[in-house]
C-alpha cells in the first residue's frame, strides 16, 4: 500500500512539474546544421540567434504587460523579427548559404500555410497579369486561404486530414485559375509553384 501511495505521488509530481517542450517559430539549430558554418561564422550565428530570441522574448513580455496581447500582434513581432534576423545572418554568409537561409526561413515562417507572398508577387510579374486578372488571382488565393481555414474545425489536430484539405482546395484553386489565365500563363503558373511544392505536405492540423 505504501508503495502504491508513493507511486501515485511520484506520478502526480511528474505531471505537475513537466514543462511543455518545443519552441514556437523557426528551428535555428536545424538550420545551423544545414549551413556548414566555419568556426568564425558559428560564433556570429549563435550570437545573432541568441540576441534575436532575447529581443523577441522581451517584445512578447512588453506586449503581455501592456495588455495588448493578441495573435495578430504576436505574428507581427515574429515575422518582423525573423526578417531582421535573416538580414543580419545574410551579412556574413556566402551566397550559397544566403540562399539556404532564405529558403529555410521562407519555408518555416510561422502562420504560413499558403504559398509565400514572394511567390505570389512573382506569379503576377512573370505571367504579366493585367489588372483584372490580378484582382481575380488575389480573390482566388483569398478563397483558398478562407476555405482552408474554415475547414480547420474538421482537421484540427489531424495532420493527415489537414494535408488532404490543403490538396483538395489547391486543386479547386488550380481549376479556378485555369479559367482566369491563358493556356500559356497557366503552364507558367504550374512551373512557378513547383518552387514551393512543399506547401501543404506537412500541415500540422
Partner 1 sequence: MRLKKSLFRKRRKKESLFKYIMSVSHLWLGLLSSIVVFVVCLSGAMYSFKTQISELLNYDVVFNTEANHSNWVKPETIKINFLKEKKQVTRMIYPSDFSRNVMVFFHDLEEDFDGHYYVHPSTGDIVGSNAQSTGAFFDLMRSIHKNLLLGKIGNHLVGISILIFVVLLISGLILWFPSNKKQWKKGFQIKWSAKLPRVIYDLHNTLGFYTFLLLLFISITGLYVSYAWVKSAVVVSLGGQPVLNASNADAMKSELSNVFASFLEESMDNQVEKEKQQVDVSLNQLIEDSNRRLPYKAITTIQLPTDDNPHYQITKVKQESIFSAVVPDHVKYGKDGQFKKLILFSDQSIADQFMEVSLPLHTGEILGLSGIILYFVVTMIACSMPVTGILIWVRKL
Tell me if 42 sits within 8 A of 93, measured CB to CB: no
Q: How far is the CB of 76 from partner 1 (least distance, A)?
A: 9
Q: Which residues have a Cβ under 8 Å from the Cβ of 75 and sit 6 or more positions away? A: 110, 111
User: Is residue 84 a contact point for partner 1 (CB under 8 A)?
Assistant: no
Q: How far is the CB of 54 from partner 1 (least distance, A)?
A: 19
Q: Which residues have a Cβ under 8 Å from the Cβ of 10 and sit 6 or more positions away? A: none
Stretch that binds partner 1, among 8-16, 34-42, 108-116, 191-199 (CB under 8 A): 8-16
111: left (phi over 0), alpha (psi -120 to 50) or beta: left
Q: Which three cell numbers stand for residue 140?
A: 482566388
Among 24, 40, 67, 130, contact with partner 1 (rule: CB under 8 A): 67
In the complex, which residues of this chain contact partner 1 (CB under 8 A)?
A: 1, 4, 8, 11-12, 15-16, 18-22, 64, 66-70, 72-73, 135-136, 138-140, 142-144, 146-147, 150-151, 153-158, 160-161, 164-165, 168-169, 172-173, 175-176
Amino acid at each position: 500500500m505504501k508503495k502504491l501511495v508513493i507511486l501515485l505521488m511520484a506520478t502526480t509530481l511528474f505531471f505537475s512539474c513537466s514543462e511543455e517542450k518545443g519552441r514556437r517559430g523557426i528551428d535555428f539549430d536545424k538550420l545551423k546544421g544545414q549551413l556548414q558554418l566555419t568556426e568564425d561564422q558559428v560564433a556570429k550565428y549563435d550570437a545573432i540567434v541568441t540576441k534575436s530570441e532575447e529581443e523577441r522574448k522581451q517584445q512578447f513580455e512588453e506586449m503581455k504587460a501592456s495588455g495588448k496581447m493578441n495573435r495578430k500582434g504576436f505574428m507581427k513581432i515574429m515575422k518582423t523579427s525573423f526578417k531582421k534576423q535573416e538580414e543580419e545572418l545574410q551579412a556574413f554568409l556566402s551566397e550559397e548559404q544566403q540562399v539556404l537561409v532564405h529558403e529555410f526561413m521562407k519555408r518555416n515562417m510561422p502562420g504560413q500555410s499558403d504559398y509565400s507572398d514572394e511567390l505570389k508577387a512573382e506569379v503576377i510579374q512573370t505571367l504579366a497579369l493585367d489588372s483584372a486578372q490580378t484582382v481575380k488571382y488575389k480573390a482566388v488565393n483569398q478563397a483558398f486561404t478562407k476555405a482552408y481555414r474554415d475547414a480547420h474545425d474538421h482537421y484540427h489536430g489531424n495532420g493527415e486530414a489537414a494535408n488532404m484539405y490543403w490538396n483538395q482546395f489547391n486543386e479547386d484553386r488550380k481549376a479556378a485559375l485555369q479559367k482566369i489565365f491563358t493556356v500559356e500563363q497557366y503552364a507558367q503558373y504550374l512551373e512557378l509553384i513547383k518552387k514551393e511544392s512543399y506547401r501543404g505536405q506537412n500541415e500540422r492540423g
